[in-house]
């Protein structure tokens, strides 16, 4: 069966722009969570959606937002990009909390 698909794989943006990343979960999975990974901070939790509702949010500024559609696909948006937003953005999907998570390959965002 298809895994978690993230698009695009690579992205280069300039400071001040905004970006939207997409995550298609495994079919049937209703939970999608997003993470940021940087060399300095490691992996950090951004937010988690379940059935189109944001259930929790990590400690990130309001420039980071997301949403989930009725087909469980999720998008993450970052507005007014800063150089420090350069990172690997990962999403993971889950059937339910006790079923574990499957990660996508990530989107590598470079802000110049």
Interacting residues with other proteins (CB under 8 A) = 31, 33, 35, 37, 42-45, 48, 50, 55-56, 58, 88, 90, 92, 97-103, 105-106, 108
**62 vs 71: CA distance, rounded Å:** 25
CB of 112 to other proteins, least distance (A): 20
Query: Whose Cβ is closer to other proteins: residue 78's or residue 106's?
Result: 106
CB of 14 to other proteins, least distance (A): 23
Query: Whose Cβ is closer to other proteins: residue 65's or residue 105's?
Result: 105
**Selection from 50, 79, 80, 84 nearest residue 67 by Cα:** 50
**Cβ contact 76:64 at 8 Å:** yes
Residue by residue, DSSP assigns 47-61 as: EEEETTEEEEE-S--
CB of 66 to other proteins, least distance (A): 14
Query: Whose Cβ is closer to other proteins: residue 13's or residue 45's?
Result: 45
Any idea which residue has 């999720």 for tokens?
74
């Amino acid at each position: 069966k298809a895994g978690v698909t993230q698009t695009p794989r690579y992205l280069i943006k300039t400071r001040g722009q905004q970006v939207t990343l997409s995550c298609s979960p495994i079919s049937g999975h209703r939970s999608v969570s997003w993470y940021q990974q940087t060399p300095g901070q490691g992996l950090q939790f951004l937010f988690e959606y379940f059935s189109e509702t944001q259930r929790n949010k990590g400690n990130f500024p309001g420039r980071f937002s997301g949403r989930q559609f009725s087909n469980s696909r999720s998008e993450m948006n970052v507005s007014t990009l800063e150089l420090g937003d350069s990172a690997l953005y990962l999403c993971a999907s889950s059937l339910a909390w006790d079923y574990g998570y499957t990660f996508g390959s990530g989107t590598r965002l470079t802000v110049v």
